[in-house]
Structure 1
Amino acid sequence: MSRPTIGIVDDEASMRDALVALLHQNQLDAVPMASIAEFNDIQKTTAFDLILIDLRLGDESGLDLALSIRKSHDLPIVMLTGHGDETDKIVGLELGADDYVLKPFNPRELVARIRAVLRRYGAGSQVTGPNSFQNGCLTFGRFTVDQKQRILFDQFSQEIALTNAEYRLLDYFLGRPNDIITRVDLLAELGSDLTKYVDRTVDVLILRLRRKIEENPSKPVHLQTRRGQGYIFVTNHVRDAD
């Protein structure tokens, strides 16, 4: 099986070199690029499996590149963001970035995140349906969650692509079915990276997850809001009144 090819778009030469070395050490091919123009040129002759984009590209914006990619390619995007970029993180989520990693990042975590996104897109590894597992699966409604592979399947055993943040949110709710969870508890329990985000980020993640697991996201059956209290994940088909 050929090694996945990762495009790196970062205007800082030392960061590009470090990322190339890290990816090569982990059996991933890397193509470094310093600008959007360089990406536009190289992508004409190079088939990428994933693009790693820095939000800050000198006088350019990584968000502009992400938006351009989303308009023309079904290509996984992982964004590198700084601690002070809360608004850009939200916009990146809304544009459809598959994951985002805060700088400075743990090298092993970055590689794990990249591999998780590649797996969700079917690149670099074989993805099997839930029937191949005897344990580690949870069901709700018409969905099955394979907790070993961290994959969501529909009733036809088709994978529903989730970003890392979306999966973590779903997994957290499934571990506390029918419990009301406050926004503060949700932020605190999801991990240190999400505690730095503003409330709007939680709203975006909730909305994106609802679009993937609810037949009508505006009238959710599973991931419901309790006004003034927080959220509750209902595992059966009966929708409680808000």
Structure 2
Amino acid sequence: MTDKEADRLLVVDDDPRIAQMLIRYFEDNGYRVTAVGNGAAMRTELSKGKFAAVFLDLMLPRGESGLELLKELRNTSDVPVLMLTGQDDVTDKVVGLEVGADDYIAKPFHLRELLARLRTVLRRRTASDTGARQEVNGEESFSFDGWRLDISRRKLTSPAGDDVSLTTGEFDMLVIFVKNHGRVLSRETLMDLTRSRNLEAFDRTIDAQIVRLRKKIENDPKDPTLIQSVRGIGYVFTGRPG
């Protein structure tokens, strides 16, 4: 991401008062903000260029669902997404995180907290990207069960030779598992290693992310053979090297 893209934010919310409030506040804090009110406009803006992060409302006009838009977005992009919602429901929060949100914020929110949450998400992304750049010269990569995980290029290739799109969180989680092959990792350990504690993380956040990862790398996500659950403890990666 270029310097010009690093301060661009996209707000997707049909409430003009909230949109204007976010524009004023974040622009006062050095960001450039584009605000749209529906999914079509979101797609248009994303097709024009990259953004550092997206604020996405859960409920949009004409029955549009922020979760459905997030699912669509995750098929093509790992841009950080912070969900905004009028419902402070744990189930909704878990669903949002399972789909691929980087954070989930209930309305009404304090603008200073929103800024802090954004900075936390962006710090995690910067730390992740920096780590990847440091490994470029080493060309670090791993193979398991026909899969190839190229850390330097942040790329996952399936046994069939297809590129598999992973969000930043999913990629980082898989790297942790592969590097700790055969070691049982507790949810607390996974939260620490993936920096998820910065998200007000809880056990089900980790579970939701693993559900997403299994859907992408397991032949049968309901009967996983690569990332296995260890009752009462956490998870273990059992993929065969090579």
**By the TM > 0.5 criterion, same fold?**
yes
1:79 is matched with 81
- Taking a change above 3 Å as real, the CA distance of residues 45 and 31 of structure 1, as seen in their structure-2 partners, is closer
The equivalent of 1:174 in structure 2 is 178
SS in 2 for 1:54: strand
CA–CA separation in structure 1 for the residues paired with 2:66 and 2:236: 36
Deviation at 1:137, TM superposition (A): 0.7
Aligned in 2, Cα 1:41/1:184: closer, same or farther, shift over 3 Å? closer
User: Which deviates the most, 42-51 or 190-199?
Assistant: 42-51
Aligned residue in 2 for 1:162: 166
CA distance in 2: counterparts of 1:112 and 1:199, whole angstroms? 19
Matched, 1:16 2:18: no
Structure richer in helix, relative to its length: 2
Q: What amino acid is the match of 1:47? A: S
Shift of 1:19: 5.6
1:153 and 1:22, CA in 2 relative to 1: closer, same or farther beyond 3 A?
farther
Q: Does 1:110 find its partner at 2:110? A: no
Q: Which moved more, 1:42-51 or 1:134-143?
A: 42-51
Quick one: distance in 1 between partners of 2:43 and 2:223?
Answer: 41
After TM superposition, the structure 1 stretch with the greater mean CA deviation from structure 2, 196-205 or 96-105, is: 96-105
Identity %: 23
Offset of residue 56 of structure 1: 5.0
- Note the aligned Cα RMSD (angstroms): 4.2
Count of residues in Structure 1 that have an aligned counterpart in Structure 2 = 209
Gaps of 5+ in 2: 106-113, 130-135
Cα pair distance change 1:17/1:48, threshold 3 Å: farther
Deviation, 1:100, is 4.2
* TM-aligned CA deviation for residue 109 of structure 1: 5.5
Question: Deviation at 1:227?
Answer: 1.8
Describe the SS at the equivalent of 1:168. helix
The alignment status of 1:187 with 2:191, answered yes or no, reads yes
Match of 1:204 in 2: 208
For the 8 Å contact 1:86–1:198, the answer to whether it is kept is no
**CA gap 1:16/1:86 in 2 versus in 1, 3 angstroms:** farther
Query: Which residue of the other structure, out of 234, 237, 240, is the alignment partner of 1:233?
Result: 237
Following the alignment from structure 1 to structure 2, what is the Cα–Cα distance between the partners of residues 193 and 81? Answer: 18
Contact 1:181 1:229 in 2 (8 A): yes
Whole-angstrom CA distance in 2 between matches of 1:214 and 1:89: 25
Unmatched 5+ stretches in structure 1 = 25-29, 118-131, 238-242
Q: Helix, strand or coil: the match of 1:225?
A: strand
User: Normalization by structure 2: what TM-score?
Assistant: 0.63
TM-score (norm 1): 0.63
